[in-house]
């Protein structure tokens, strides 16, 4: 096959191939029989093995020609475009990640290079089963959930947790259809010509601005700001329509898998069919198909998690990052990158429009808009009759509470009024589990994790103690692990499960539902629960930040925040920003339909500037004040930060290496930057490894990465010691 545009290497010519092997680099090979394109996915010999690689450029010619081996074969996939190669290179340079590790993010295509062939896939048919069994119900539920998608026999039986004979049995009865289809079938076409909603004036102005950017076909970044329910999604779907009408492809990133199904339904309503869906919950068959189709430009719209940013999309014209402020866009394990920032980078390399949508943008994005780097479009009001809820503080210093109770009399009365009117209330507490602390009343011991520097959190629902840092769990002990006295372990403080218990006791006539990420085995179970609540299946919802994100409960008119001060403790300079965002998002859950909403914030410090800003909704004022403080401290977005995380099973070793780095900081000082620490990292111990952090603070505009690379170059990793660089850390 030939691919227009890409340069071509003739048989025997030297090419440089990058593989995904750890410590790998670009190595010379000879182009195989028939030649190969720049960017081609190839199989090359490496020692005794055959490994996957990408033709990264012309060979360097550093080796004696007779020693250079040949590419084994060119795989059946569109060559990686130069734009994506450049993106991988720049992302690696920016995050100081080894190039092979970065390439790995872009080659997560299962079955890459397998020949196309026919396969049997299974979908829901018309028939009804002769007998209703648990196993059969599971199969039907799985196929129903994914509507039009078809799955292989193994995938269906795995997802349903049944044997393949159950599926085959259903095929015989016509309940499930078996079809022969080519692997990697093209996606059904979205129809951008279908009419969208009739836009309000604000919305129409914003949509037209985005469309104009797309028509110009140059790179540009837009902050699309508007309270929850103001129609941001409606507006960026107009941009998607323009993009696919031009024959280019669009990518929409969402911060959480649980939000995708609602979004897929909206896309279907707007464009006639569902788009491709890319995240960890998608089957291998489907991921392989998407990966292949995007490379051929055959997939107009992908909605997905941050990893979708590395898909080899052929002609990417639009990238939307929805809820751009969300912290889950930062990958904190393995390759440390922020998908929001990387989206802007990728957009700049492929002349795409990048849309950052949020009701409560990050300070970084706000500052970029203020500085004129990003265009800013504002949607000023909620769509239709819905209005932003009335926000009020409950001053907890004036409230009488029984011991081990957290709902104030004022909040209780407000909930009772909603119950009397048949409306829903949300009690919000951003803490999973039953109680944050388990203490022994005999000796005062607090139960901690054996592997981390964290307390174990009691989860009554799971009947276990859970470490929220490393995920370690153990059964709730009968006796204190320290003094061995039995029956003295007590729960201290509230978690969301304990709040649910209190709600049931306070409002015995109400139906109470709990929404916390750990309570659902699967995204499907969570989605079912959310739908049931939205349909009126609960009177009171007790939830963690899971409910703050985008779900729509039309009958919800009261949000009660149990502890509005929770996020303000601690020394993190981003605490104010996070609390502000979270509180505004949660409050926005109330009154989304025609009923007016109220948000009540229980606080011990109603005069705190952040609480005041949340209550008055003076976002510009809040941002300006925050910006002033950050500017004064010289931290992002007005200065640059990087973390160096040193981890070892031996704490002393990590500190020793940290101290040695801090002493030898000449490369850092040379660019006018400063080193702080070493100090225990924000997460000081994970899975038995001690973590120590050095923080580097630099003025804006210095070549920080180069200085960092030079500084850490003498430090070598070992089996027990590791060094990781965290550019733009989340907490500082």
Distance CA 727, CA 696 (A): 9
Among Zn ion, ligand ADP, none, residue 230 binds (CB under 5-8 Å by kind) = ligand ADP
Question: Residue 82 is encoded by which pair of tokens?
Answer: 């130069």
Among Zn ion, ligand ADP, none, residue 231 binds (CB under 5-8 Å by kind) = ligand ADP
Distance CA 732, CA 521 (A): 34
**Least separation, in Å, of the C-beta of 171 and ligand ADP?**
39
**Least separation, in Å, of the C-beta of 269 and ligand ADP?**
9
Among ligand ADP, Zn ion, none, residue 452 binds (CB under 5-8 Å by kind) = Zn ion
Give the angle subtended at the CA of 341 by the CAs of 335 and 342, to the nearest 5°: 55
Q: Based on CB atoms, which residue is closest to ligand ADP, 207 or 654?
A: 207
Distance CA 603, CA 260 (A): 34
555 belongs to the binding site for ligand ADP (CB under 6 A): no
Q: What ranges make up the beta strands (E) of 69-129?
A: 73-74, 118-124
Task: Please provide residue 573's backbone torsions phi and psi, each rounded to the nearest 5 degrees.
Answer: -70, -15
Per-residue binder mask for ligand ADP (CB under 6 A), 378-407, x = binder: -----x------------------------
Among Zn ion, ligand ADP, none, residue 472 binds (CB under 5-8 Å by kind) = Zn ion
Q: Based on CB atoms, which residue is closest to Zn ion, 136 or 455?
A: 455
Distance CA 658, CA 311 (A): 37
299 is in an annotated binding site: no
Among 19, 21, 95, 200, binds ligand ADP (CB under 6 A): 200
**Least separation, in Å, of the C-beta of 310 and ligand ADP?**
25
Strand partners, 691: 647
597 belongs to the binding site for ligand ADP (CB under 6 A): no
Distance CA 432, CA 518 (A): 8
Q: Taking contact as CB under 6 A, which single stretch among the options 100-108, 191-199, 366-374, 621-629 is the one that binds ligand ADP?
A: 191-199
Among 203, 360, 469, 557, binds ligand ADP (CB under 6 A): 203
3-state secondary structure of 126: coil
Residue 417: exposure state from Cβ atoms within 10 A (0-12, 13-18, ≥19): middle
Among Zn ion, ligand ADP, none, residue 470 binds (CB under 5-8 Å by kind) = Zn ion
350 is in an annotated binding site: no
DSSP string, 27-65: EEEE--TT-EETT-EEEEEETTEEEEEEEEEE----S-G
Among 39, 213, 226, 295, binds ligand ADP (CB under 6 A): 226
**Least separation, in Å, of the C-beta of 140 and ligand ADP?**
29
Q: Based on CB atoms, which residue is closest to ligand ADP, 277 or 323?
A: 323
**Least separation, in Å, of the C-beta of 489 and Zn ion?**
18
Question: Residue 612 is encoded by which pair of tokens?
Answer: 């005041």
Residues 475-534 that bind ligand ADP (CB under 6 A): none
Among ligand ADP, Zn ion, none, residue 107 binds (CB under 5-8 Å by kind) = none
Q: In what order do the strands lie in the sheet with 473-475?
A: 456-459, 464-467, 473-475
**Least separation, in Å, of the C-beta of 429 and Zn ion?**
22
Question: Which DSSP helix (H) or strand (E) runs through 699?
Answer: strand 689-699
Q: Which residues contact 508 (CB under 8 A, 6 or more apart)?
A: none
323 belongs to the binding site for ligand ADP (CB under 6 A): no
Q: What ranges make up the beta strands (E) of 151-257?
A: 176-182, 220-226, 249-253
What is the 8-class DSSP label of residue 547? G
Q: Taking contact as CB under 6 A, which single stretch among the options 155-163, 222-230, 411-419, 556-564 is the one that binds ligand ADP?
A: 222-230
Among Zn ion, ligand ADP, none, residue 95 binds (CB under 5-8 Å by kind) = none
Among 51, 86, 197, 625, binds ligand ADP (CB under 6 A): 197
451 belongs to the binding site for Zn ion (CB under 5 A): yes
Strand-pair category, 473-475 with 464-467? antiparallel
Task: Match 């084994």 to its residue by tokens.
Answer: 72
**Least separation, in Å, of the C-beta of 584 and ligand ADP?**
13
Q: Compute how many other C-beta atoms are within 10 angstroms of the C-beta atom of residue 5.
A: 11
Give the interface size with ligand ADP as a residue count (CB under 6 A): 14
Q: Based on CB atoms, which residue is closest to ligand ADP, 345 or 596?
A: 596
Distance CA 175, CA 177 (A): 7
Strand-pair category, 456-459 with 424-428? unpaired
CA neighbor of 266 nearest in space, from 303, 298, 295? 303
The 3 state secondary structure assigned to 256-317 is CHHHHHHHHHHHHHHHCCCCEEECCCCCHHHHHHHHHHHHCCCCCEEEECHHHHHCCCCCEE
Give the interface size with Zn ion as a residue count (CB under 5 A): 7
447 belongs to the binding site for Zn ion (CB under 5 A): no
Question: Residue 514 is encoded by which pair of tokens?
Answer: 């709990």
Instruction: Measure CA 539 to chain center.
Output: 30
Distance CA 550, CA 390 (A): 19
**Least separation, in Å, of the C-beta of 386 and ligand ADP?**
8
**Least separation, in Å, of the C-beta of 470 and Zn ion?**
3
Q: Is the dihedral angle over the CA atoms 499, 560, 552, 555 positive or is it negative? A: positive
- Do residues 707 and 634 lie in contact, with contact meaning Cβ atoms separated by under 8 Å? no
Q: Based on CB atoms, which residue is closest to ligand ADP, 226 or 361?
A: 226
Q: Taking contact as CB under 6 A, which single stretch among the options 62-70, 145-153, 224-232, 272-280 is the one that binds ligand ADP?
A: 224-232
Strand partners, 117: none
Residues 228-257 that bind ligand ADP (CB under 6 A): 228-234
Q: Based on CB atoms, which residue is closest to ligand ADP, 57 or 554?
A: 554
**Least separation, in Å, of the C-beta of 383 and ligand ADP?**
4
326 belongs to the binding site for ligand ADP (CB under 6 A): no
Among Zn ion, ligand ADP, none, residue 563 binds (CB under 5-8 Å by kind) = none
Q: Based on CB atoms, which residue is closest to ligand ADP, 43 or 238?
A: 238
Q: Taking contact as CB under 6 A, which single stretch among the options 225-233, 242-250, 608-616, 722-730 is the one that binds ligand ADP?
A: 225-233
Per-residue binder mask for Zn ion (CB under 5 A), 452-471, x = binder: x--------------x-xx-
Q: Based on CB atoms, which residue is closest to ligand ADP, 95 or 557?
A: 557
Q: Which residues contact 428 (CB under 8 A, 6 or more apart)?
A: 543, 544, 547, 548, 559, 560, 561, 562, 586
Residue 131: exposure state from Cβ atoms within 10 A (0-12, 13-18, ≥19): exposed
36 is in an annotated binding site: no
Distance CA 601, CA 640 (A): 34
The residue length of the chain stands at 732
Among Zn ion, ligand ADP, none, residue 138 binds (CB under 5-8 Å by kind) = none
Q: Based on CB atoms, which residue is closest to ligand ADP, 229 or 494?
A: 229
Distance CA 686, CA 449 (A): 10
> Per the omega criterion (within 30 degrees of 0), is the bond before 678 cis?
yes
Q: Based on CB atoms, which residue is closest to Zn ion, 30 or 474?
A: 474
488 belongs to the binding site for Zn ion (CB under 5 A): no
Per-residue binder mask for ligand ADP (CB under 6 A), 437-466, x = binder: ------------------------------
470 is in an annotated binding site: yes
Among ligand ADP, Zn ion, none, residue 467 binds (CB under 5-8 Å by kind) = Zn ion
Q: Based on CB atoms, which residue is closest to ligand ADP, 224 or 440?
A: 224
Q: Which residues make up the interface to ligand ADP (CB under 6 A)? A: 197-200, 203, 226, 228-234, 383
Q: Which residues make up the interface to Zn ion (CB under 5 A)? A: 449, 451-452, 467, 469-470, 472
Annotated binding site for Zn(2+): 440, 443, 449, 452, 467, 470, 480, 483
């Amino acid at each position: 096959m030939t691919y227009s545009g890409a340069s071509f290497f003739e048989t025997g010519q030297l090419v440089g191939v990058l593989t995904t092997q750890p410590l790998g680099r670009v190595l010379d090979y000879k182009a195989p029989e028939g030649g190969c394109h720049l960017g081609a996915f190839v199989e090359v010999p490496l020692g005794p093995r055959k490994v996957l690689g990408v033709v990264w450029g012309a060979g360097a010619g550093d080796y004696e020609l007779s020693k250079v081996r040949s590419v084994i074969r060119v795989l059946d996939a569109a060559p990686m475009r130069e734009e994506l190669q450049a993106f991988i290179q720049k992302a690696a340079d920016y995050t100081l990640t080894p190039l092979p590790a970065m390439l790995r993010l872009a080659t997560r295509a299962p079955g890459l290079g397998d020949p196309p062939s026919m396969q049997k896939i299974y979908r829901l048919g018309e028939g009804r089963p002769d007998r209703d069994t648990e196993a059969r119900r599971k199969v039907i539920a799985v196929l129903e959930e994914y509507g039009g998608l078809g799955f292989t026999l193994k995938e269906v039986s795995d997802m349903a947790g049944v044997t393949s004979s159950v599926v085959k049995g259903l095929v015989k009865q016509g309940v499930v259809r078996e079809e022969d289809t080519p692997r990697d079938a093209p996606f059904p076409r979205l129809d951008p010509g279908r009419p969208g909603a009739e836009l309000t004036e604000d919305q129409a102005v914003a949509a037209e601005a985005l469309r104009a950017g797309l028509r110009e076909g140059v790179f540009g970044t837009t902050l699309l700001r508007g309270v929850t329910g103001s129609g941001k999604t409606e507006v960026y779907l107009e941009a998607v329509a323009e993009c696919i009408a031009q024959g280019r492809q669009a990518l929409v990133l969402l911060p959480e898998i649980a939000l995708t199904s609602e979004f897929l339904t909206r896309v279907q309503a707007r464009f006639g069919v569902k788009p491709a869906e890319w995240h960890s919950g998608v089957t291998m068959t489907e991921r392989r198909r998407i990966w292949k189709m995007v490379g051929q430009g055959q997939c107009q719209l992908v909605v997905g998690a941050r990893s979708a940013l590395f898909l080899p999309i052929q002609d990417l014209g639009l990238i939307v990052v929805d809820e751009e402020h969300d912290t889950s866009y930062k990958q904190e394990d393995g390759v440390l990158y922020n998908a929001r920032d990387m989206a802007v980078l990728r957009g700049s390399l492929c002349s795409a429009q990048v849309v950052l949508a949020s009701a409560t943008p990050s300070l970084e994005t706000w500052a970029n808009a203020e500085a004129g780097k990003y265009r800013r479009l504002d949607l000023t009001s909620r769509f239709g009759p819905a209005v932003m809820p009335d926000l009020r503080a409950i001053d907890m210093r004036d409230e009488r509470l029984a011991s081990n109770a957290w709902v104030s009399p004022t909040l209780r009365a407000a909930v009772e009024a909603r119950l009397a009117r048949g409306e829903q209330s949300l009690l919000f507490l951003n803490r999973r589990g039953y109680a944050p602390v388990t203490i022994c009343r005999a000796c005062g011991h607090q139960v901690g994790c054996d592997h981390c520097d964290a307390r174990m959190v009691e989860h009554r629902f799971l009947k276990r103690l859970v470490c929220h840092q490393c995920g370690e769990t153990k059964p709730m002990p009968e006796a204190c692990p320290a003094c061995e006295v039995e029956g003295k372990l007590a729960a201290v403080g509230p978690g969301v499960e304990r709040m649910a218990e209190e709600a049931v006791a306070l409002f015995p006539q109400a139906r109470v539902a709990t929404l916390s990420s750990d309570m659902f085995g699967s995204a499907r179970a969570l989605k079912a629960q959310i739908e049931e609540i939205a349909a009126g299946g609960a009177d009171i919802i007790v939830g963690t930040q899971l409910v703050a994100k985008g779900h729509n409960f039309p009958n919800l008119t009261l949000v009660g925040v149990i502890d509005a001060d929770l996020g303000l403790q601690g020394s993190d300079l981003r605490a104010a920003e996070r609390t502000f965002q979270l509180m505004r998002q949660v409050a926005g859950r109330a009154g989304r339909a025609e009923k007016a909403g109220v948000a009540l914030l229980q606080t011990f410090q109603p005069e705190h500037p952040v609480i005041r800003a949340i209550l008055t909704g003076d976002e510009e004022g809040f941002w300006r004040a925050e910006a002033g403080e950050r500017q004064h401290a010289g931290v992002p977005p007005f200065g640059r930060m990087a973390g160096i995380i040193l981890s070892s099973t031996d704490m002393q070793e990590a500190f020793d290496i940290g101290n040695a780095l801090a002493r030898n900081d000449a490369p850092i000082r040379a660019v006018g930057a400063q080193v702080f620490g070493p100090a225990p990292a924000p997460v000081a111990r994970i899975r038995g490894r001690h973590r120590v952090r050095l923080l580097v603070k630099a003025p804006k505009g210095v070549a920080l990465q180069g200085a960092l690379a030079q500084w850490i170059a003498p430090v070598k990793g070992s089996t027990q010691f590791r060094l990781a660089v965290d550019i733009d850390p989340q907490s500082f």
